[in-house]
Amino acid sequence: MLRQLLPNLQAFGSRTFRCSGKRAACICRDVAADTPATTEDMSPKMQKRISILIGAMILAISATAQAGAIDLNRPTGRQDYNDEHQKKQQYTCPMHPEVAASHPGTCPKCGMNLVAKEQKQPSTPNAQHPTSKATHMAHSSHQSHEMHQHPSSVAAGTSDAASDHVMASMQMAMHSSIDLADPMSRQGSGTSWLPDSSPMYGKMFMFGEDMLMLHGAIFPRYTNVSTRRGDDRIDAPNWLMGMYSHPLGDSTQIGGRLMMSLDPLTEGGRGYPLLFQTGESWHDQPLHDRQHPHDLFDELSLSLSQKFDHDFSAYLYFGYPGEPALGPPTFMHRPSAMDDPDAPIGHHWQDSTHITFGVATAGLVWRNIKVEGSIFTGREPDENRYDFDRPRFDSYSGRVSWNPTQNLALQGSFGYIKSPEALDPRTNIHRATASAIYNLPLGDDINWSNTFVWGQNNATGEGKTQSFLVESNYQRGRDTVYLRWERVEKSGHELVLGPPDESRVFPIGGYTIGYVRDLSHGNGVDIGLGTQFTFNDRPDRLDHSYGDALAYAFQLFLRIRPSLHRHGEHQHVEHVAGMEK
């Protein structure tokens, strides 16, 4: 279907602009008007290649969704406890089964309400392990299912050892791959934190006590950007990520993560059009009004975590590439932004270090507070998006994170970034950021997520410039509405303007509204049809570079990603039945 759409959408037209070559005085012109076609043009051969790649990614996601894995995130029904059990009732945390109390209250680690823990009457000496409410409900659902479908097997009884093994695996599956003391839902990009109540879109696989989580997204789309520096094209921003964890005893865990993107193929070296976006280069010229493509390998990391007590843990993280402890979770990993195909125009003030070739981070976690520090490579990825850049470890950062409730995640960070741009090797940046992410589940399959980010760059020879961002995403079943508001200060040098504007600082605004309607929802793969409109506000002085027409961007897209990860009854039943056989 996508292969048939491409020729029709291509008819909308394609304008490609090329920089004259000098940062001090940039004159953009229509390449199609005065130069022969280049490898950046959307040739039929390239259309066919992109169609094949997009189709392959869709098939891969669909195959993953249909695999017989343990889906651990579907809410189950409420279970009543017997009066004789309530007399000796204990309470525990669904996210942290090691927390136990003799009375109701809140979890000292995540702030969630404690739930009643089943007091089992052991049938054998080997079935003495306590279980959390989540695993008790799943096990009870299994027994109820067996009574209706296989009464003879229920009468014969089930294997307590097998059931306890599954329950232990389910508890292990809820841990972050970075720090086993954190719930999985808290895990953001790199070592950053999201609210504990954040939705997780992905597919989980259990191999004994080992956990593998896959997630990602692809946005096949048509986008049209106005002004002299605009463009229109067909492309498909995308990313795919896997997270793996393996326990080394009850209090130690190793983890690994791999994140990849086919942007080098679907976006080309210049990336996709995005008004007032800046950062990185192509053909030794600074990119402007384009979002650079991500590398083929965006994260390849290992971590080791140790839990010293139920509320105290530590971890080490090494990435090549990876993400240092600087800034909020990267935009594509925030629930408030994951339906938006575009990067924020303040990306290089807030979370641009998410692809860094050489990162080492150490962190300490006490209850809901985390303190961490990193040393990393300051230089941003080079123009070769397929290789591994030379690690330098010449920059540093520190971050303090705090999740006061399960719905709120706060962070403040500071870092020194040495020579991030290859074209300006003498420019260093001191960056400060602060963010608040608030996520509110409003019911079954209803969620509202919001993010505020402030970022400041203090660049050599340029001084301090500020950026602000507010995002909101409201999802109700198949329908999602999202907003983004931005205000960024960018210099004429950053925007590649000529004298005398090169040294001036210009306030830039961005206002985005989008809507997605899922055509497939909750079936393993969510395929949504979406549209988005962005309006940009700029000073009149920039009219000589952008023209006096309204600055806007419109796009029509598909959003393809794994469905919401839930605690599944039927997958749990199938897994236990398979173990019994």
DSSP string, 304-317: EEEEEETTEEEEEE
Q: Is residue 239 pLDDT above 90, yes or no? A: yes
- Per-residue confidence (pLDDT) for residue 573, from 0 to 100: 36
Instruction: Place 516 in a pLDDT band, splitting at 50, 70 and 90.
Output: very high
> What is the rounded average pLDDT of the residues 54-75?
50
The band of 16, judged by pLDDT with boundaries at 50, 70 and 90, is very low
Number of H helices, E strands in the chain: 11, 26
Q: How confident is residue 117, by pLDDT bands cut at 50, 70 and 90?
A: confident
Model confidence pLDDT, tens digit, residues 384-412: 999 999 999 999 999 999 999 999 999 99
pLDDT at 70: 42
- Cα–Cα distance measured from residue 545 to residue 538, given in angstroms and rounded to the nearest whole number: 11
Res 100 pLDDT > 70 = yes
Given this model, what pLDDT does residue 373 score? 98
Question: Between 106 and 42, whose confidence is greater?
Answer: 106
CB 403 within 8 A of CB 410: yes
Closest CA to 301 of 378, 347, 245, 217: 245
Q: How many CB atoms lie within 10 A of CB 96?
A: 23
Nearest to 450 by CA among 471, 469, 480: 471
Do the beta carbons of residue 439 and residue 448 sit within 8 Å?
Answer: yes
Query: What is the mean pLDDT of the segment spanning 501-529?
Result: 96
Residue 558 pLDDT exceeds 50: yes
Alpha carbons 106 and 86: distance in angstroms, whole number: 19
Instruction: Tell me which of 52 and 465 has the higher pLDDT.
Output: 465
Q: Which among 305, 182, 176 is positioned nearest to 243, based on CA atoms?
A: 176
DSSP string, 271-295: -EEEEEEEEEEETTEEEEEEEPPPP
pLDDT: which is higher, 74 or 299: 299
- Give the pLDDT band of residue 162 (cuts 50, 70, 90): very low
CA distance 449 to 329: 14
**Predicted structure pTM score:** 0.74
What amino acid occupies position 95? M
Coil/strand/helix, residue 463: strand
CB neighbours of 408 closer than 8 A, spacing ≥ 6? 195, 436, 437, 438, 439
What type of residue is 253? Q
Is the sign of the CA dihedral 191, 193, 194, 199 positive or negative?
Answer: positive
Cβ(281)–Cβ(270) under 8 Å?
A: no
Question: From CA 574, how far away is CA 581, in angstroms rounded?
Answer: 11
User: Do residues 353 and 375 touch, judged by C-beta distance below 8 A?
Assistant: no
**Gyration radius of the chain's alpha carbons:** 25
Mean pLDDT score, 468-478: 98
In the prediction, which pLDDT does 91 show?
82
**Interatomic CA distance for residues 173 and 572, integer angstroms:** 13
Q: How far apart are the first and last CA of the chain?
A: 42
275: phi then psi, degrees, rounded to nearest 5: -55, 135
Residue 381 has pLDDT above 80, yes or no: yes
Q: What's the token pair of residue 166?
A: 């599954």
Start-end ranges of CATH 2.40.160.10 in the chain? 2-69+176-561
pLDDT tens digits, one per residue of 253-300: 999 999 999 999 999 999 999 999 999 999 999 999 999 999 999 999
Pairing of strands 221-225, 551-562: antiparallel
Least confident window among 109-113, 229-233, 241-245, 577-581: 577-581
Q: Which residues contact 403 (CB under 8 A, 6 or more apart)?
A: 110, 111, 186, 193, 195, 196, 368, 409, 410
Residue 33: CB atoms within 10 A of its CB come to 8
Q: How far apart are CA 498 and CA 500, in angstroms?
A: 6
Closest CA to 560 of 515, 514, 519: 519
The single residue listed with the structure tokens 């070769």 is 384
Predicted confidence at residue 57, as pLDDT, reads 59
Band of residue 80 on the pLDDT scale cut at 50, 70, 90: very low
CA 63 to chain centre: 21
What is the phi-psi region of residue 141: left when phi exceeds 0, alpha when psi lies from -120 to 50, beta otherwise? Answer: alpha
Q: Is-contact 111 96, C-beta < 8 A?
A: no
Which tokens belong to 73?
């995130």
Task: Render pLDDT for 298-310 as a digit per residue (tens, 0 to 9).
Answer: 999 999 999 999 8
Q: How would you write 144-204 as a 3-class SS string?
A: HHHHHHCHHHHHHCCCHHHHHHHHHHHHHHCECCCCCCCEHHHECCCCCECCCCCCCECEE
Q: What is the CATH number that goes with domain 2-69+176-561?
A: 2.40.160.10
Mean pLDDT calculated for residue range 487-504: 94
Which stretch of 271-275, 334-338, 576-580 has the lowest confidence by average pLDDT?
Answer: 576-580
DSSP three-state, residue 100: strand
The pLDDT-based confidence of 500 (bands split at 50, 70, 90) is confident
Q: Give whole-number Cα distances, 419 to 347, 393, 455, 494, 570, in Å.
A: 17, 12, 18, 15, 53
pLDDT in tens, 118-143: 655 444 444 344 444 334 334 433 43
| Beta-carbon-side half-sphere exposure of residue 229 (alpha carbons within 13 Å) | 26
Selection from 305, 398, 330, 75 nearest residue 194 by Cα:
330
Q: Which residue has the higher pLDDT, 256 or 47?
A: 256
Work out the number of other CB atoms within 10 angstroms of the CB of residue 497: 24
Q: What is the pLDDT of residue 56?
A: 56
Query: What is the three-class DSSP state of 24?
Result: coil
Is the dihedral angle over the CA atoms 307, 308, 309, 311 positive or is it negative? negative
Question: Residue 336 and residue 194: Cα distance in Å, rounded?
Answer: 11
What integer pLDDT is reported at residue 15 of this predicted model? 44
Place of tokens 């976690």: 365
CA distance 148 to 151: 6
Share of the chain above pLDDT 90, in %: 66
Summarize the confidence of residues 191-202 as an average pLDDT.
Answer: 97
Q: What is the helix (H) or strand (E) element at residue 571, kind and residue range?
A: helix 569-580
Phi-psi bin for 448: left (phi > 0), alpha (psi -120 to 50), beta? beta
For the chain, what is the mean pLDDT? 81
